[in-house]
Amino acid sequence: MVKLCVGADDVGDLEAWQTRLMTRHPAPLHHTRMVPKQIDELLDGGSIYWVIKGVIQVRQAFTDIRVIDDRNGQRACELVFEPELVAVEPMPKRPFQGWRYLKPKDAPADLKAGRGGDDIPPDLHAKLKEAMVW
C-alpha cells in the first residue's frame, strides 16, 4: 500500500508524529475512512510505503488492520504498523488522494546500509534515478 504523508517535510517529521501517537497507543496507527479489500494480503508481509514530498522514502510493516466505527458511527479503518521505519530506494510518486495498492513487483527495494549515497537527500536521489544517472 502506498500513502501520502501529508504535512511531513522529511522522515523525521513522520517519526516524530508516530512517537507522539505511541504515547497514547501501543503501536503507530493511521485512521482512514476506506477499508482495504485486500486485508489478508496486506497482513501477510505487506507494508505501507510513505510518500514524503513527492518521493516514496520509507515503509512500515502492517501488524493489524481493524475495521471500526468512527465517532459518527460510520465504518472506518485503523491501519496498525510496526514502529520501525525502513528506508527504501527513493521513488518519485505523483500526488493522489487516499491510499493505493502497490504490487510487490513495483515496490521500491529496502536501502542497504553502506551502499554509499546515504547522505544524498531522498528527493535528489529520486531525480538522479529517474534521469538514469544513479
Q: 21: helix, coil or strand?
A: helix
Structure confidence by residue, pLDDT tens digits, 107-131: 999 998 655 555 666 666 556 656 5
Three cell numbers written together for 107: 515496490
What is the helix (H) or strand (E) element at residue 41, kind and residue range?
Answer: helix 39-43
**Cα torsion through 13, 14, 16, 18, rounded to 10:** 160
What is the helix (H) or strand (E) element at residue 125, kind and residue range?
Answer: helix 122-130
Mean pLDDT for 60-80 is 94
527495494: which residue's cell?
109
pTM above 0.85, yes or no: no
